[in-house]
A and B are shown apart, each in its own frame.
Chain A
Amino acid sequence: MVNDKESQKIVDIIQNFARQSSLFVLAYGTGCGAIEIPPTMTSRYDAERFGIRGAATPRQADVLLITGYLATKSLKRVIRAYEQMQNPKYIIGFGSCTINGGMYWDSYNTINRLDMYIPVDVYINGCMPRPEAVIAGFAKLQKLIQAGKADGWDRYQKNLEFYRGNQKKIIHNWVMPDYNW
């Protein structure tokens, strides 16, 4: 039955529906974008309507939210948190800084392109993006999940060497355990 493609498809649809309507967010408050998370979650914009709620630890989380510029020092933590999340897992890049470095484009200690290091599923641009934009980003992610296209976790595994190479360029003293699946 499992091998049956049709039924597998149905199962996939149901599972993807569950995935997209229940997003546990690990908000990684790296930069100024963290200030936009509280209004998004609380009464004014109430992201919980869409099943989006905070998760306390990476183990329970589905979405890693990189809120703003990522210092090279923080990259290690982000990678660590990302690798501890359970598949399937998604990353939302938050603000211009994650796309091209933004106003920190020439800073010596800020990375410019986030998706060189970890697979980003959705970018939300703006400096900073308003909560409306954040919710729009989540909606986009939900659509991708439902369509089965939010496959950053898969890419990460398949292109691990590429990502590792990039990561190790930034992080010189690499003391982290290997990604073990």
Chain B
Amino acid sequence: MSNIIIILAIFGWAILTYIAFRLNKTLGNIFVGLIAVALPVYYFTYVPEDYSFQVMGLTLQFGFTSFSSLFAILVVILGALTLLYSIPYMNKKDRLGWFYLNFLFSIGGMLGILMSKDFVSLFIFWEIMTWSSYLIVIFSGKKVNKVGVKYMVYSAIGAYAMLMAIVLINKWSGTTNISHFFETFADYSNGAKILSSLLLLTAFAVKSALMPLHVWAPNAYTNSPMSYTSLFSGALSKMGIYGMALVAIMLYTNTGMKFFGEALAWLGAITAVLATFWAVFQTDIRKLLAYSSIGQLGYIAVGLGIGTELGVMAALFLALLHGLFKGILFMAAGAIEYRTGKTDFSELRGLIWKMPVTFFSALVAIIALAGMPPLSGLISKWLIYEALLSSEHYFLIILIFLSSTAAFLYCFHFLYGVFLGQREDDIEDVKEAPALMLVPMVLMSFGLLALGTFPGLIFKHISSSMSYLGFNDVTWEMSVLTNEWGNKIYLTHLNTMFMVVFAVFFVIITLVARKKTRRVGTKDIANAGEPILAEDNYHFSQDFYKPFWRVISPVMKYRIETFYNSFANGIGEFFQFFRRVYTGNGQTYALYVVIFLTILFIVGATLI
């Protein structure tokens, strides 16, 4: 019983929080803080217990598996941290009760998904998660139709694909139990296999923003408050990954339908490349991060698609890691937005002077995102490459590498455009973000640092959860990576080496001519002798990657979004035309009756 209670408690608490906010803002914030603390505490101390009951002749079953609890850790931690972050971030806004109601509902929905052992309850929680996140996407009240409805429509396409799969599975196997479906999958006919797995894949691909179905993501991520976007991109999109992992591994790898896995991997790789390219040319930090998220989710799809042990390992590790670093980055973007009210690169600059803690958290996250040592990003990248190498995916690895190299471009753009560059006077009033916003960022940065050297901390969980997916329970050493060919990386040596050399040279360079080393303002630059006046600013923010755009613009011209829009318009126009059936003339309606009667006669006489 205790399983379902956690969700009911969250839902109940959500309503209580709503009421509390209606009464008093401070009381509401206390309620939010309480759940943020209670959620991880309860999750990590309670004893899991399975539970099931009958609804409408269907059996709903609940219980964590070792696989889903991996994602639950992410949801719980990120959920708690984003809740904490939200308290100061959202404090100036109205309708806070409504916001937190939906916030908690989506956390509850996610945990519900993870503890669902049958498809119907999975779907129910999936939809709860979807509409609560939709309500937050439109929370700001801006672009509600353009962004919100679009999000809802794509989510609905995904969810309904899942629903179709569910009813078909229910028909074929007589039950909606997830593990039963996977166990009996091998006995299905080929058509059934392809149909059900395609549908499920579509469903999960929408949430994880895989390429042809990603259209909603950039705008939805941008439009919701940043404190929620951290969760949205960090944890909510991982629900798609969760489902995709189940489908990809259980179905394709275990039943020999490798083709689908390959297709998934290719889709993921194309997603990674194109989304990264798009991220490079964004001029809004939130959009940049949103596209970056799509790209990262593409990597995860690649890992799942190739379906080898290393690949799945990479995917799961990256899924967790992405939650951390994209959480930090969106929080940093939120902190910037909170303090300056701006999110466009053309309006931001030089914030490192005012928000150093935010900068260093973001720097840590960016290094992890880019996959550079000494942080944990390297491990995820390494795992993916090794997986691709050992499974001999020659061209996928090139695509992934292209994407991850291009990722440096937007990484630099983010750091430079926001934090570096020439200072402007208009940031003089800007202060460092409130402590409650910094704490989650810093905590997660430490997490990234720790995992960078000791990935074994989380490998233990991943590999035990992978045994649920049918892989051997391989024990990984705390800080040594080994690929399938026996090549190893000693992370401790690498990172210690780097740190030590860094420290040595830091001492040297700081001590040499120490007294004569001056710090000057960012307007004191070599500018052909021309002094920069107070009103001038030479910050480089326009056409940031213009040459690169010239190279790849032939590819980027074609956007799937245009096609979707014209398709949707076509439907609208078609029915607009069809509306003329209802002429408004009663006699015409009478004529329809007669015509219908005639047709019915003919049909009746011939068919019945």
Contact = CB atoms under 8 A, between A and B. Distances in A.
Q: Answer whether A and B touch in the complex at a CB cut-off of 8 Å.
A: yes
Contacts of B520: 180
Contacts of A59: 526
Nearest to A82: B529
B529 A77 contact: yes
B518 A80 contact: no
A81 interface: yes
Given A58-B529, A81-B528, A177-B521, 9 more contacts: A59-B526, A76-B529, A78-B529, A79-B529, A80-B530, A87-B516, A176-B531, A180-B524, A181-B518
Interface in B513-545: 516, 518, 520-521, 523-524, 526, 528-531, 533
A16 interface: no
Nearest to A177: B524
B531 A177 contact: yes
Contact of B526 (A58, A76, A175): A58
B571 to A, nearest CB: 60
Interface residues of B, number: 12
Nearest to B529: A77
Interface in A52-101: 57-59, 76-81, 84, 87
Interface string B484-527: 00000000000000000000000000000000101011011010
28 contacts: A28-B529, A57-B526, A58-B526, A58-B529, A59-B526, A76-B529, A76-B531, A77-B528, A77-B529, A77-B530, A78-B529, A79-B529, A80-B530, A80-B531, A81-B528, A81-B529, A84-B524, A84-B526, A87-B516, A175-B531, A175-B533, A176-B531, A177-B521, A177-B531, A180-B518, A180-B520, A180-B524, A181-B518
Contacts of B524: 84, 177, 180
Contacts of A176: 531
A79 B523 CA distance: 16
Interface in B531-571: 531, 533
Contacts of B530: 77, 80
B516 A181 contact: yes
Scoring B516, B523, B526 by chain A CB atoms within 10 A of each residue's CB, the highest score goes to B526
Contacts of B531: 76, 80, 175-177
Contacts of A28: 529
A181 to B, nearest CB: 5
A93 B210 CA distance: 66
Interface of B: 516, 518, 520-521, 523-524, 526, 528-531, 533
Contacts of A78: 529
B555 to A, nearest CB: 35
Contacts of A87: 516
A40 to B, nearest CB: 21
Interface string A162-181: 00000000000001110011
Contacts of B518: 180-181
A67 B222 CA distance: 55
Nearest to A87: B516
Closest 9 CB pairs of A and B: A77-B529, A57-B526, A81-B529, A80-B529, A176-B531, A58-B526, A181-B518, A59-B526, A80-B531
Nearest to B523: A177
Contacts of A177: 521, 523-524, 531
B517 to A, nearest CB: 10
B529 to A, nearest CB: 3
A76 B528 CA distance: 11
Nearest to A57: B526
Interface in A138-181: 175-177, 180-181
B436 to A, nearest CB: 38
Contacts of B526: 57-59, 81, 84
Interface string A42-55: 00000000000000
Nearest to A56: B526
A174 to B, nearest CB: 10
B248 to A, nearest CB: 53
A72 B256 CA distance: 82
B32 to A, nearest CB: 48
Scoring B516, B531, B533 by chain A CB atoms within 10 A of each residue's CB, the highest score goes to B531
A41 B458 CA distance: 61
B455 to A, nearest CB: 41
Contacts of B533: 175
Contacts of A79: 529
Contacts of B528: 77, 81
B177 to A, nearest CB: 70
A84 B516 CA distance: 14
A120 to B, nearest CB: 17
A79 B520 CA distance: 17
A79 B529 CA distance: 8
A167 to B, nearest CB: 13
A136 B408 CA distance: 49
A31 B523 CA distance: 28
Contacts of A58: 526, 529
Nearest to A58: B526
A177 B522 CA distance: 12
B391 to A, nearest CB: 48
B549 to A, nearest CB: 27
B443 to A, nearest CB: 39
Nearest to A84: B526
A57 B528 CA distance: 8
B524 to A, nearest CB: 6
Contacts of B529: 28, 58, 76-81
Contacts of B516: 87, 181
A59 B523 CA distance: 14
A58 B528 CA distance: 8
A76 B533 CA distance: 13
